[in-house]
Chain A
Amino acid sequence: MSVTAATVEPAPAGLTAGPAPGDARRPALLPLTVRGLRLEAGGKTLIHDIDFTLQAGPKTIILGPNGAGKSLLLRLCHGLIAQTGGQIDWAGRSPEAARRDQAMVFQRPVLLRRSAAGNIAFALSVKGIARRQRPALVKEALARAGLSALADRSARVLSGGEQQRLALARAAILEPQILLLDEPTSNLDPAATAAVEQLIAAIHAAGTKVIMTTHDLGQARRLADEVLFLHHGRLLEHTAAERFFRQPESSEASAFMQGKLLW
Chain B
Amino acid sequence: MGDFTSAIAAAVRLIVSLDRDLAQIVALSLQVSLSAVLLATIIGLPLGGAIALVPFPGRGAAAALMNALMGLPPVVVGLVLYLLLSRSGPLGVLGLLFTPLAMIIAQCLLVIPIIAALTRQVVLDLHQEYDEQLRSLGTGIWRTILTLLWDGRFRLFTSVLAGFGRAIAEVGTVLIVGGNIDHYTRVMTTTIALETSKGNIPLALGLGIILIALSLGINIAAMAVRNVSHRRYG
Taking Cβ atoms with an 8 Å cutoff, the residues of A that contact B are 75, 78, 80, 99-100, 102-104, 106, 110, 112-114, 122-123, 126-127, 154, 156-157
Contact B136 A156 (CB under 8 A): no
- Is the CB–CB distance between A99 and B138 below 8 Å? yes
- A161 to B151 alpha-carbon distance, docked (Å): 22
Chain B residues whose C-beta falls within 8 Å of the C-beta of A78 in the assembled complex: 136
Nearest-CB distance from B147 to chain A (Å)?
A: 7
The answer to whether A157 touches B147 (Cβ under 8 A) is: no
Do the beta carbons of B232 and A110 come within 8 Å of each other? no
Comparing B7-15, B125-133, B176-184, the segment that makes contact with chain A is B125-133
Q: List 16 A-B contacts (CB under 8 A).
A: A80-B132, A80-B136, A99-B135, A99-B138, A100-B138, A104-B136, A106-B132, A110-B132, A112-B130, A113-B151, A113-B233, A114-B151, A154-B232, A154-B233, A154-B234, A156-B234
Complex: how many Å from CA A99 to CA B139? 11
Whether the pair A126, B132 counts as a contact (CB closer than 8 A) is no
Q: Is A123's CB under 8 angstroms from B135's CB?
A: no
Interface of B is mostly: helix
Q: Residue B137 at the A interface, CB < 8 A?
A: yes
Contacts of B232 in A (CB 8 A): 154, 157
Task: Kindly state the separation between the CA atoms of A102 and B138 in the bound complex, as whole angstroms.
Answer: 10
Complex Cα gap A157–B231 (Å): 9
User: When A110-B129, A113-B233 are in contact, do A99 and B147 touch as well, CB less than 8 Å?
Assistant: no
B135 vs chain A, min Cβ distance (A): 6
Q: Which residues from 164 to 222 on chain B have a C-beta closer than 8 Å to any C-beta of chain A?
A: none
Q: A112–B130 Cα gap in the complex (Å)?
A: 8
Question: Chain A residues near B59 (CB, 8 Å)?
Answer: none
Given contacts A75-B132, A110-B132, A112-B151, contact A126 B233 (CB under 8 A): no
Residues in B neighbouring A123, C-beta threshold 8 A = 137
Q: How far is the CB of A201 from chain B (nearest CB, A)?
A: 22
Known: A75-B132, A113-B151, A122-B147. A156 touches B233 (CB 8 A): yes
Most buried by A among B130, B136, B139, B153: B136
- Chain A: CB-nearest residue to B144: A126
Q: Does B87 contact A (CB under 8 A)?
A: no
A154 to B229, CA, bound (A): 11
Q: Which of A99, A106, A113 has the most B CB atoms < 10 Å from its CB?
A: A113
Name A's interface SS: mixed
Complex Cα spacing A154 to B150, Å? 14
Give min CB distance, A137 to chain B, whole Å.
Answer: 15
Cβ–Cβ < 8 Å partners of A102 in chain B: 136
Kindly report which residue of chain A lies nearest to residue B132, judged by CB atoms: A80
Q: Which of A99, A100, A106, A157 contacts B234 (CB 8 A)?
A: A157
B173 to chain A, nearest CB (A): 36
Q: Are the C-beta atoms of A99 and B233 separated by less than 8 Å?
A: no
- Closest 4 interchain pairs by CB? A110-B133, A156-B234, A104-B136, A113-B233
Contact check, B147 vs A127: say whether CB atoms are below 8 A apart.
no
What's the nearest-Cβ distance from chain B to residue A114, in Å? 8
Residues of A within 8 A of B139 (CB): 126
Q: Are B133 and A106 in contact (CB under 8 A)?
A: yes
Q: Tell me the bound Cα distance from A104 to B137 in angstroms.
A: 8
Docked Cα-Cα span, A110 to B53, in Å, equals: 19
Given A78-B136, A103-B136, A106-B133, 11 other A-B residues pairs in contact with their CB atoms under 8 A: A99-B136, A99-B138, A100-B138, A102-B136, A110-B133, A112-B130, A112-B151, A113-B150, A113-B151, A113-B233, A126-B143
- Mask, B134-156, CB within 8 Å of A = 1, is 01111100010001001101000
Give the complex CA separation of A80 and B151 in angstroms: 22
> How far, in whole Å, are A106 and B130 apart by their CA atoms in the complex?
11
Q: Which of chain B's residues have a CB closer than 8 A to the CB of A122?
A: 147
Give chain A residues whose Cβ lies under 8 Å from the Cβ of B135.
Answer: 80, 99
From A75, A112, A127, B138 is in contact (CB under 8 Å) with A127
Question: Closest chain A residue to B229 by CB distance?
Answer: A113
A75 → chain B closest CB, angstroms: 7
With a cutoff of 8 Å between Cβ atoms, the chain B residues found around residue A80 in the complex are: 132, 135-136
Q: How far is the CA of A127 from the CA of B139 in the complex (A)?
A: 8
Q: How far is the CA of A218 from the CA of B151 in the complex (A)?
A: 37
CA A102 to CA B135, docked complex, whole Å: 11
A126 touches B138 (CB 8 A): yes
CA distance A77 to B153 in the complex (A): 34
From B133, B138, B151, B233, give the contact of A157 (CB < 8 A). Answer: B233
Min CB–CB distance B130 → chain A (angstroms): 6
